[in-house]
Structure 1
């Protein structure tokens, strides 16, 4: 699956991305839960891209991204390094604002 992101608006929809699917992972109640604010997400494809990159971080057990609010809830075995989360969000083509 090819990731398409419109860097001028932060939206994948502006460049032909698929906005009909929600590919986020359900958040589990185990471990440490942290909520981050991410800017630029506008649809399910955006949520999936951010969730996929954050899910690849060591110790992450669940991610739920919500484009409407810009919130990304991450459950992990231990607190995550915010710079690692920022790098993952950047890799997906969005901006980590900080903790919500």
Structure 2
């Protein structure tokens, strides 16, 4: 399963590390890919919970927009 999100406010390596750290703690996540240029976060895993993934990104300090179609 893969989830894609538009995320605003990312601008540097620290942003990537913060989001990656928070999202990896969500159950079922196997990989997190943060693309600064595209302002997207892609999450791979099994039984991913959209609400928990969004909460993890917000917890890292960023705004989550609409999910991007896979």
1:15-54 matched pairs, under 5 angstroms: 32-54=1-23
Deviations 1:42-94 (A, max 9, x none): 1111011111101100000000101121111100112x222211110111000
TM-score of the pair, normalised by structure 1: 0.64
Match of 1:56 among 13, 20, 25: 25
Give the length in aligned residue pairs: 68
Helix, strand or coil at the partner of 1:83? helix
Structure 1: gaps spanning 5 or more residues: 1-31
Match of 2:54 in 1: 86
Q: Considering only CA atoms, is the larger Rg found in Structure 1 or Structure 2?
A: 1
Structure 2: gaps spanning 5 or more residues: none
| Structure having the larger proportion of residues in helix | 2
Tell me: higher relative CO, structure 1 or 2? Use CA pairs within 8 A at least 6 residues apart: 2
| Structure having the larger proportion of residues in strand | 2
